[in-house]
Amino acid sequence: MKRLGITGGIGSGKSTVSRLLRQSGIPVYDSDSEAKRLMHTLLRQPIEQLFGSQAYEDENLNRKYIASQVFCNPELLNRLNAIVHPAVGEDFERWAEEQSDEVPFVALESAILFESGFDSRVDVTLLVDAPIEERIRRTVLRDGSSPDEVRARIAHQNTELAQTKADYVIHNHTESALAEQVNSLYINLKQLWK
Ligand code: ATP
């Protein structure tokens, strides 16, 4: 089963691309939400070992506490990533195995496709890109956060790797242009992998 990796910065339109692909029958693994699921189940014990019992509040992951701990501590962030990334990678492999042979390909969506090494688990990679002011505007609309908060989150992300390494780029300027590009990528990949 061939695999497409989808990446892009905050508000670039990754999830929108994933939704369009799903509408065409392509199963998409959302690594962000699957990582959250794993952190509530399989990974709870190692995460509590690393951060202490404060890592969970009631049954929920205390994201604020964890974010505050790793914010100025890259070593701790590396150790958290060393717990989460391999588990998500293995879960993706299991999921991919379970998908029907009838679909032309499957996809993996990850904001950190290259940084996490997930790119090695896919055959081709796609960067979803949009003008930065547009990304801020869309994210503010979606999350209700302030433009400055979104700018700070963007500044924290490193999209250079994806800019240089991605096999395909989709420019998400408008919704109709996006749908057209996703459709032609879908047709190209179907042709390539038939
Ligand atoms: P994040 O990494 O923050 O989850 P993302 O890359 O998955 O973001 P989306 O959630 O797909 O981005 O898009 C951000 C917001 O912008 C969403 O509310 C989405 O509906 C909207 N959006 C995406 N593409 C367009 C577009 N071409 N025109 C207008 N709105 C758009």
Atom 20 (ligand 1) nearest CA: 16
Q: Which atom of ligand 1 is nearest to the CA of 172?
A: 27
List pLDDT tens digits, range 135-149: 999 999 999 999 999
* CA distances to 4, 83, 167 from 120, in Å: 11, 18, 13
Res. 72: pLDDT tops 90: no
Domains of the chain: 1-27+119-194 (3.40.50.300), 28-98 (3.40.50.300)
* Percent residues over pLDDT 90 in the chain: 90
Write down the pLDDT at residue 84: 97
Which residues sit with their C-beta closer than 6 Å to ligand 1?
Answer: 8, 10-16, 111, 138-139, 142, 172, 174-175, 178
Backbone φ, ψ for residue 89 (5° rounding): -60, -45
Alpha helices in the chain (DSSP H): 14-23, 31-40, 44-51, 63-71, 74-98, 132-143, 147-156, 160-165, 175-192
CB 125 within 8 A of CB 163: no
Which pLDDT band holds residue 159 (cuts at 50, 70, 90)? Answer: confident
Q: Which atom of ligand 1 is nearest to the CA of 128?
A: 6
Atom 21 (ligand 1) nearest CA: 138
Q: Which atom of ligand 1 is nearest to the CA of 109?
A: 7
Which pLDDT band holds residue 156 (cuts at 50, 70, 90)? Answer: confident
Q: Which atom of ligand 1 is nearest to the CA of 174?
A: 27
Atom 14 (ligand 1) nearest CA: 11
Between 160 and 184, residue with greater pLDDT = 184
- Where residue 33 falls (left for φ over 0; alpha for ψ -120 to 50; beta otherwise) is alpha
Write down the pLDDT at residue 121: 97
**Lowest mean per-residue pLDDT among 52-56, 105-109, 158-162:** 158-162
Write down the pLDDT at residue 58: 83
Write down the pLDDT at residue 99: 96
Give the mean model confidence (pLDDT) for residues 170-191. 95
Res. 11: pLDDT tops 90: yes
Atom 3 (ligand 1) nearest CA: 10
Write down the pLDDT at residue 130: 95
Write down the pLDDT at residue 149: 93
Res. 38: pLDDT tops 90: yes
Give the mean model confidence (pLDDT) for residues 105-112. 97
Res. 157: pLDDT tops 90: no
Atom 24 (ligand 1) nearest CA: 13
CA 180/CA 1 separation, integer angstroms: 25
